[in-house]
Amino acid sequence: MPATPFSSNASNPPAGRALRIGLWVAQVLVAAVFCASGVVKLTTPIPELSAMMPWTGQYSVAFVRSIGLINIAGGLGILLPALTRILPRLTVLAALCCVVLQGLAIAFHLSRGEAMVVPLNLLLLALCAFVLWGRARRAPVRPRGSA
């Protein structure tokens, strides 16, 4: 049976301790950045937010707040399913979605001439891709109650 993004590849040896720790660190960092960014986009008045992020003043409030919700969902999704071991495959799905989100964010910012924010997006993209690879292939988290 071929490996899927939601299963480990049986031909890979078990992940080492350093890799497992690195994955948890990456997951916590991504969750913190995504959730913090989402809370800011959800709670900061648009005039104040547009002083920090000019694009937020040029799009609808609903769009900005939706991006905030998406950020929070991604941050929680990349950490909580693995941490609780309840449907941990959702961490892999969240990591995939966060990779796509960062790819879109990079294209968005480049199209607006905002190249100065792209390095953060690239770092987040790399961390999310690392989590995606690690949790899908090398160090999947077993669901609660499994052997």
Q: Are 52 and 108 in contact (CB under 8 A)?
A: no
Q: Residue 53: how many CA atoms within 13 Å on its side-chain side? A: 19
* Residue 1 confidence (pLDDT) above 70: no
Q: Using CA atoms, how far apart are residues 73 and 49, in angstroms rounded to an integer?
A: 20
Q: Which long-range contacts (CB under 8 A, 24 or more apart) does 119-126 make?
A: 124/30, 124/33, 124/34, 124/98, 125/99
Q: What is the pLDDT of residue 39?
A: 98
Q: Which of 100, 80, 101, 98 is nearest to 89 (CA)?
A: 80
pLDDT in tens, 64-118: 999 999 999 999 999 999 999 999 999 999 999 999 999 999 999 999 999 999 9
Q: What is the pLDDT of residue 11?
A: 61
Higher pLDDT, 88 or 7: 88
Q: What is the pLDDT of residue 146?
A: 80
pLDDT in tens, 39-57: 999 999 999 999 999 999 9
Q: Are 78 and 98 in contact (CB under 8 A)?
A: yes
Dihedral angle sign, alpha carbons of residues 59, 100, 93, 124:
negative
Q: Are 140 and 114 in contact (CB under 8 A)?
A: no
Q: Using CA atoms, how far apart are residues 60 and 67, in angstroms rounded to an integer?
A: 11
CB atoms within 10 A of CB 123: 14
